Amino acid sequence: MQYKPEVVVITGASAGVGRATARAFGRRRANVGLIARGRDGLDAAKREIEEAGGEAIVLPLDVSNHDAVERAAGEVEDAFGPIDIWINNAMLSVFSPIMQMEPDEYRRVTDVTYLGTVWGTLAALRRMKPRDRGTIVQVGSALAYRGIPLQSAYCAAKHAMQGFHDSLRCELIHDKSKVRVVMVQMPALNTPQFRWVKSRLPRKAQPVPPIFQPEVAAEAIVWAAYGNRREVNVGWPTTAAIVGNSFMPGLGDLYLAKHGYEAQMIDEPENPNRPDNLWSPLPGDHGAHGVFDDRATDRSITFELNQRRGWILAGAAALFLACALARR
């Protein structure tokens, strides 16, 4: 039987998590549609995929444009055939106190981070549902459940993604559809965004420690695309934030009010006039990693345990049964 490469679409593929995920699917020899605004990063991602044994098509566009996303989906299928996996990863943010935010900044972050996910999902569903197969991966965040100070627009957009994800799953189950949708909730990651995002902070931004490398996120996305989970948490801080917010949201408010500002900044002054990527991409190839390699870990033990939770639960049940029998 002749090998047929899988067809994968990744939004936000030029840098950060999207770039690491593109490399991961390249190693699987997939045919990948690469969507982002930055042509330099897309071209570099295409080269990396082809060097790894896959194929790629570059689709420079803004995911806030519904029609452009729809056309891109058609171009991918014209080039490679039916789409098997669609990954919604594109995002924007603004680091700023709420009272200093501008209306068009909220609109812009929402258009890309939330509505870009909706447009990508619709483009995938229009093709997957009639075939009754395919997987859609929504790249979420611990901030989809727990809002933090100074990132209100991004937190709100991720919360919206989570609500959309739940609604979509219910409808797919109702329709008895075999199309799968899974949301992968991410921890703090060492991506380039902290040096190109629009910021009004007095000092340079950082991911809230502990920090994970984007390859950890990419591994989780690939695994989720082939698994059977409705949601996957990556890293113990993600699970701690989600579970803690379920039981003690007020305590979370107090903790973040006291520590959430300093945790998002380093001891270097920010340049208020530096360019940012809110309205247009920054030139150049920025790769997958940010500037925090010396502080980031390339492994998540909790995610590795999560992957094997069936065996762990079975082992725990067997141990419990053995202890119960031994007491007789």
CB contact at 8 A, 102 and 48: no
- What is the mean pLDDT, run by run of 10 residues, along the chain of 328 residues? 83 98 98 98 98 98 98 98 98 98 98 98 98 98 97 98 98 98 98 97 97 97 95 93 94 97 97 96 97 91 65 47 55
CB contact at 8 A, 215 and 288: yes
- Give residue 309's pLDDT: 56
- Give residue 197's pLDDT: 97
Domain-located, residue 127:
yes
Active-site residue identified among 3, 106, 114, 154: 154
**Which H or E run includes 32?**
strand 31-36
Q: Strands 7-11 and 31-36: what pairing?
A: parallel
Angle (CA) 43-46-51 rounded to 5° is 130
CATH code for the domain in which residue 274 is found: 3.40.50.720
- Give residue 295's pLDDT: 96
Domain-located, residue 1:
no
114 a catalytic residue: no
Domain-located, residue 243:
yes
- Give residue 108's pLDDT: 98
Domain-located, residue 223:
yes
Give whole-number Cα distances, 200 to 77, 262, 319, in Å.
42, 14, 54
Q: Give the pair of three-digit tokens for residue 93.
A: 């943010």
Tally of CB atoms within 10 A around 272: 9
CB contact at 8 A, 72 and 61: yes
Number of domains in the chain: 1
Domain-located, residue 67:
yes
Domain containing residue 18: 7-297
Q: How far apart are CA 303 and CA 209, in angstroms?
A: 17
Domain-located, residue 306:
no
- Give residue 312's pLDDT: 46
Domain-located, residue 250:
yes
Q: Is the peptide bond before 210 cis (omega within 30 degrees of 0)?
A: yes
